[in-house]
Amino acid sequence: MGDLVCSAQFNYLIDLPWLLQQYPPEKRKCPLLVVHGDQKDANIRKAAAPYPNVTLFKARLEIMFGTHHSKMMLLAYREGLRVVIHTANLIPKDWDQKTQGVWVSPLFPAKSSVTPSKSETVVNGGKETGFKQDLLEYLKAYGGRGLEEWKQRISDHDLSAARVRLIASVPGAHTGGEMNKWGHLKLRKVLSTCSSLPCGATPSDWPVIGQFSSVGSLGPAPSQWLTSEWLTSLSSSSSSSASSSKKPRTLTTQHKMPPLKLIFPSVENVRTSLEGYMAGGSIPYAANTAAKQPYLRDFLHQWRAEETGRTRAAPHVKTYMRVSPDQREAAWILITSCNLSKAAWGALEKKGSQLKIRSYEIGVLFLPSDQETSAGHTSFSVATMHPHGPGAGSSSVPGMGMRLVTPFDLPLTPYTREDQPWVWNARHMKPDSKGNVWTPP
Ligand SMILES: O=C(O)c1ccc([N+](=O)[O-])cc1C(=O)O
């Protein structure tokens, strides 16, 4: 991977001694910047004290209930720079028996005076993805001076080989030109300008799939946020006109919404997981929140990943995607730290004039048109569990580009009549895969 010089780790839960142990022994004294959101930072300052090479940066969280949820590594090597965007906390159990998601960038070369002054925005005929500019904008949003060195280091490298789009969230009441930079409105902007469904596709027939490991308070009815504002963004495409308006508005005034299918572990999925009910400690859906939104269950599907052998590796990954009616194609897929919450994605306020986001989040969006292997295609072929037909088993589908292996099985598995969504602060008394019961305090 390269000769590491220094690194930065952005995360939510950080076990510093364990983290340093994960670096090669000869690299454990390299400069390490840890970006966290622990406002009562006595513990992490105490943990960092024995390590003179570790510098801490506390992200501002001035809006209630916000968290520093972003999970990213910046790795500076003698040979270049690498960016890693992922979903795992920097604690042992997140890297043991769970299903996580990760994007590892190519090794970005330093820009040098001898490098031909090729535009950074065009590589192999690819379109600009704006990744570098968006990453710098994200780091700028932290404020203060503690990230200046890393902003300069990123500026000094050529990131044009990044064939993904950055979809990030930063806390704030974003208005005007700032609104489309963050959260679900950034995704709406990108999808409505850069993602088109295949010719002849009926947008309202292409479901949106959301998969996540926690849920926030979404309102007393799905129409308050989930199937209006949020689904409008995730069902945007250049084939729909939701984006043409200056002011964000819901598709209900324009198009029929597509089906929404959500994947969230059932109690039984957690009970039978490798970790048993302990897995549920990282799936913090609160019973009192669930009780306020019983409608959510109507959208829910089980966590199932037989294709990758990960059905029992509880999900901590978060993915969102748009699929064809037969679930053999995908128009896009997003891997992100965002769970299903307004805090992460943002919620429109003041008659749609501001987008309120509470947390830091970061993810990467894969579009077929951004991938060299599927440029010119409007969809990825999806490796599916369908027993027959073009997507099963083959390396690619004739006429379609890159083949996508999703973290979960397609087609989706609905909840059974008996299934309930996992909630972490309720008793679960049927013995789990380890013979334990779950009786939270
Ligand atoms: O990723 C998650 O599912 C998650 C959910 C909630 C919180 N939280 O409430 O701070 C943290 C995390 C985390 O693991 O980062």
Residue nearest to atom 12 of ligand 1 (CA): 69
Q: How far apart are CA 376 and CA 369, in angstroms?
A: 6
Question: Closest Cα to residue 83, out of 117, 118, 48, 107?
Answer: 107
What are the boundaries of each domain within the chain?
Answer: 4-109, 164-405
pLDDT for 396 equals: 39
Catalytic residue at 386? no
350 in a labelled binding site: no
Paired strand residues for 332: 322
Closest atom, ligand 1, to C-alpha of 67: 10
Q: How far apart are CA 47 and CA 409, in angstroms?
A: 40
Same CATH fold assignment for domains 4-109 and 164-405? yes
Contact in structure between 378 and 196 (CB atoms under 8 Å)? yes
Tell which CATH classification among 2.120.10.90, 3.30.870.10, 3.40.605.10, 3.40.50.261 matches the domain 4-109.
3.30.870.10
Closest atom, ligand 1, to C-alpha of 213: 3
Residue 12 beta carbon below 6 angstroms from any ligand 1 atom:
yes
- Among the listed residues 68, 69, 174, 428, the single catalytic one is 69
- CA 132 – ligand 1 centroid, Å: 27
Burial category of 238 from C-beta neighbours within 10 Å (exposed 0-12, middle 13-18, buried 19 and up): middle
| pLDDT tens digits, 298-344 | 999 999 999 999 999 999 999 999 999 999 999 999 999 999 999 99
Higher local confidence (pLDDT), 411 or 399:
411
434 in a labelled binding site: no
- CA 186 – ligand 1 centroid, Å: 22
Catalytic residue at 69? yes
| pLDDT tens digits, 188-239 | 999 999 999 999 999 999 999 999 999 999 999 999 999 999 999 999 999 8
Q: Which DSSP helix (H) or strand (E) runs through 250?
A: none
Burial state string for 257-296 with b = 16 or more CB within 10 A and e = fewer than 16? bbebbbbbbbbbbbbebbbbbbbbebbebbeebbeebeeb
CATH of domain 164-405: 3.30.870.10
pTM: 0.93
Closest atom, ligand 1, to C-alpha of 13: 15
Residue 70 beta carbon below 6 angstroms from any ligand 1 atom:
no
Residue 213 beta carbon below 6 angstroms from any ligand 1 atom:
yes
pLDDT for 118 equals: 53
| pLDDT tens digits, 29-85 | 999 999 999 999 999 999 999 999 999 999 999 999 999 999 999 999 999 999 999
pLDDT for 126 equals: 54
